[in-house]
Amino acid sequence: MKVEPRYVKQSHHSFRRSKVRTKSSKELQKELGIPTSDQITGIEIRLSRVYIKNNKTPKIGPFPGYAKVYFICLIASDVANQTPKLEIKAFPKIDDNEELPIDKTVYFWKQTKKNTTPPSQIHVFSSIVKSKKSLRDVGKIMTEVKKDKEYKSVLKTIAGAVSGATAAGALVDQVTNLASIVGRFLGKVEDRPLISILQSYTDINGDFDSLGKVRKEFPNRYATIGLSITIRDKVREDIIAEALDLDS
């Protein structure tokens, strides 16, 4: 590949800098190679959007067509001593074309002296479930779920899968099992959720290769769920910053 000279000599013996395209950080990452995930210093997954397009509730006469919905979020990873995290939120009056007030971190890992090994797989299950009757108290649901023997059994299975470095598929199955157990405690709900997604991030799939924030949305005809993952890696960031500085 022919490279233009950085400086061009003029007839009056002065020098002028030529225009050389600066490489992007992605190009530099490709040239430098991607280190393994054990060099990652921070991971954050945010639930950045929960949008209801069609709540499946008709507007008839004086009835405004609001829906009562639960939002469920389950997160599991293969980090040692990190139990799966469960969250349930209730929303009593949700209309069509409405954004749920949810914008929060659902998973966070930061390298410390005692915590040096990052996850190699993280699984996020999210679902919006429409209730047929009045919403139950979320605190009571959480208490009942955590006392359930089957729920406790699945948690133990996940802990064993993590310590045994089980393949991602096994953890995915267990996260799905947890979701079905939680569903039993919600009461009278629609047979089919407005939307359910299971997003897996793994080092083998390259989900931890790109530095910075990567956003992804999961839409269907009724709703949209948006997730973003942010990867920090001090070593790669310093190398790229230095390379960009030298190339500028």
- Higher-confidence residue of 124 and 248: namely 124
Angle at 150 between CA 145 and CA 152, to 5 degrees: 70
Residues in the chain: 248
On the question of pLDDT at 9 being above 50, the answer is no
In this predicted structure, what is the pLDDT of residue 221? 96
- Higher-confidence residue of 77 and 165: namely 77
137-173 as b/e: b if 16+ CB within 10 A: eeeebeeebeeeeebeebbebbbebbeeebebeebbe
State the Cα–Cα distance between residues 231 and 20, nearest whole angstrom: 29
**% helix, strand, coil for the chain, step of 5:** 25, 35, 40
- pLDDT tens readout for residues 76-105: 888 877 888 999 999 999 999 999 999 999
- pLDDT tens readout for residues 202-224: 888 889 988 889 999 999 999 99
Structure tokens at 185: 């405690």
Domains of the chain: 37-232 (2.60.40.150)
- Higher-confidence residue of 57 and 1: namely 57
Place of tokens 């793994």: 202
Please answer whether residues 128 and 219 qualify as being in contact, where contact means their C-beta atoms are separated by less than 8 angstroms. Answer: no
State the Cα–Cα distance between residues 193 and 71, nearest whole angstrom: 10
0.95 cut: is pTM over it? no
Beta bridge partners of 80: none
- pLDDT tens readout for residues 60-76: 878 889 999 999 999 98
105-133: average pLDDT: 90
In this predicted structure, what is the pLDDT of residue 246? 64
Would you list the DSSP string of 149-192? HHHHHHHHHHHHHHHTT--HHHHHHHHHHHHHHHHHTS-SB-SS
Gyration radius of the chain's alpha carbons: 24
State the Cα–Cα distance between residues 219 and 63, nearest whole angstrom: 27
CA 121 to chain centre: 11
Please answer whether residues 44 and 230 qualify as being in contact, where contact means their C-beta atoms are separated by less than 8 angstroms. Answer: yes
On the question of pLDDT at 20 being above 80, the answer is no
